[in-house]
Amino acid sequence: MIDPHVHLRDWKEKEKETLAHGLAVALSCGIDEVFDMPNTQPTLTERNTVLKRLKDAEQCGIGVHYHLYAGLTSSPEQIGAMVSLVQELFPRVVGLKMFASHSTGNMGLVQEKEQALVYRTLSDCGYEGVVALHCEKESLLHPELYNTTDFSSHSLARPVCAEVKSVSDQLRIAQEEGFKGHLHFCHLSSIEALHEIEKARSQGVRVSCAVTPHHALLSSDDAKDRSLYAKMNPPLRSETERSALFAALLGGRIDWIESDHAPHTLHDKEAGASGIPGFSGILLLVKELLEQGATAPLLQKLLGRRVQEVFHLPCREIFIPAYDDLESLSTKSADEYPWDSYRNLRLR
């Protein structure tokens, strides 16, 4: 299986996870290919850091195909350098990532003029590869609504409308600036955002989207249980949103599943850090999809085939663990981390 959205930490965050540990846990779940995100410490926004990351991952000696996204800033020179790096090192550097809002790592380009500059520069460089996007419109966030004693309030602080408007903005600005590449919208948390993407797709825009296990299996009600530490960006949503996204997965409307695997220490979670370990959730989501009638071709698409198509990767076989093994493999993976946001789901 392919997991095209992970945060494997290491370096200045090695107390949260090392590359070797993350890759080993992924492989134990049947995930043998990952795309690492650039909001590491230090960030993957310049050549030498990217090269070091690739070397460090290779030296782990674990049988997982490792790729990474290069991060984008608001500097035209930096953007051009990252385009050149993708052209030189693809598929090890598989694409570019822009945070259209602040999240873990504070790499957000939150002003429309910054976002327009990115697309304009990419157009001028002739870049037609993938740009992955974290979409939450900063001006529509309400941090004052976040209650530190109730993680479910995170959904009030970062509401659905912020995601939907940001998705709409990126589609519009990219078109206005003549961007000819492929837009990938990460970790959708709302069916309304999917409607925006489907409308663009019907108009010929090169676009894809993904859903995480936590947004498909958990709701904001789960986040009320503080022991689950179920806080992430974008947040868990209502049961209505959750069930609609799950139905969209079953209906083949989503391009792929991505874990957004993002481990922290318990100390950091108590302090409000966003992100959860996600490899175990992929297996639980596969189990639930199978129980709800998902076909083998659909699961093949969601767990790697569509990723191969969009990124023009070699068409390797996608192996999915047997149904009878999914629960035990998921539990084993969860035991590798200091908490399990899916714990209550296992007990239902």
Rounded-to-integer distance, Cα 38 and Cα 5, Å: 10
Residue type, 302: L
pLDDT of residue 348: 67
pLDDT of residue 56: 98
Percent of the chain clearing pLDDT 70 (strictly above): 99
Instruction: Inform me whether the pLDDT recorded for 179 exceeds 70.
Output: yes
DSSP 155-206: HHHS-HHHHHHHHHHHHHHHHHTT--SEEEE-S---HHHHHHHHHHHHTT--
Q: For residue 3, which phi and psi values (nearest 5 degrees)?
A: -115, 100
Beta bridge partners of 99: 108, 134
Q: Catalytic: 260?
A: yes
pLDDT of residue 224: 97
pLDDT of residue 346: 82
- Domains detected in the chain: 2-347 (3.20.20.140)
Q: Is 2 exposed, middle or buried (0-12, 13-18, 19+ CB in 10 A)?
A: buried
Tell me the C-alpha to C-alpha distance, in Å, between residue 345 and each of 29, 30, 79: 18, 21, 42
- Helix (H) or strand (E) holding 114, with range, is helix 112-125
The string of pLDDT tens digits covering residues 236-268 is 999 999 999 999 999 999 999 999 999 999 999
DSSP 44-68: S-SHHHHHHHHHHHHHT--S-EEEE
Beta bridge partners of 33: 2, 65
Rounded-to-integer distance, Cα 231 and Cα 217, Å: 14
Average pLDDT over residues 187-195: 98
Report pTM: 0.97
Lowest mean pLDDT among 102-106, 210-214, 227-231, 324-328: 102-106
pLDDT of residue 210: 98
DSSP 86-101: HHHHTTTEEEEEEESS
**Which of helix, strand or coil describes residue 133?**
strand
Rounded-to-integer distance, Cα 16 and Cα 11, Å: 10
Average pLDDT, the chain: 97
Of the candidates 260, 268, 335, 340, the residue annotated as catalytic is 260
Q: For residue 99, which phi and psi values (nearest 5 degrees)?
A: -95, 110
Percent of the chain clearing pLDDT 90 (strictly above): 97
pLDDT of residue 102: 82
The string of pLDDT tens digits covering residues 55-113 is 999 999 999 999 999 999 999 999 999 999 999 999 999 999 999 988 776 798 999 99
CB 284 within 8 A of CB 29: no
The string of pLDDT tens digits covering residues 45-57 is 999 999 999 999 9
For residue 10, give the DSSP letter.
B
Structure tokens at 10: 């290491």
